[in-house]
């Protein structure tokens, strides 16, 4: 791919991009926080289970 074609494609992407409105931004933040806490909870449960199993041995 030539450099000129690459810049042309990047320009098209920039022209189509838009700033999210407040509702869309808040939805993204809520989803990100939900995933953060779910993954953290799963990691905590795995760590707790591992520590309980090592203490039982």
Does residue 46 form part of some domain?
Answer: yes
- Does residue 57 have a pLDDT over 80? no
pTM of this structure? 0.65
Does residue 38 form part of some domain?
Answer: yes
Of the two residues 57 and 56, the one the predictor is more confident about is 56
Does residue 12 form part of some domain?
Answer: no
CB within 8 Å of 29: residues ≥ 6 apart: none
Check: CB of residue 31 under 8 Å from CB of residue 38. no
Does residue 9 form part of some domain?
Answer: no
Does residue 52 form part of some domain?
Answer: yes
For 10-50, what is each residue's pLDDT tens digit?
999 999 999 999 999 999 999 999 999 999 999 999 999 99
Does residue 15 form part of some domain?
Answer: no
Does residue 8 form part of some domain?
Answer: no
The domain total for the chain is 1
Q: How big is the chain by its Cα radius of gyration, in Å?
A: 22
Does residue 34 form part of some domain?
Answer: yes
Domain of 39? 20-57
- Does residue 1 have a pLDDT over 70? no
């Amino acid at each position: 791919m030539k450099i000129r074609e690459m810049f042309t494609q990047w320009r098209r992407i920039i022209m189509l991009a838009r700033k999210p409105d407040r509702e869309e931004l808040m939805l993204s933040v809520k989803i990100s926080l939900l995933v953060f806490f779910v993954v953290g909870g799963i990691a905590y449960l795995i760590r707790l289970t591992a520590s309980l199993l090592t203490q039982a041995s």
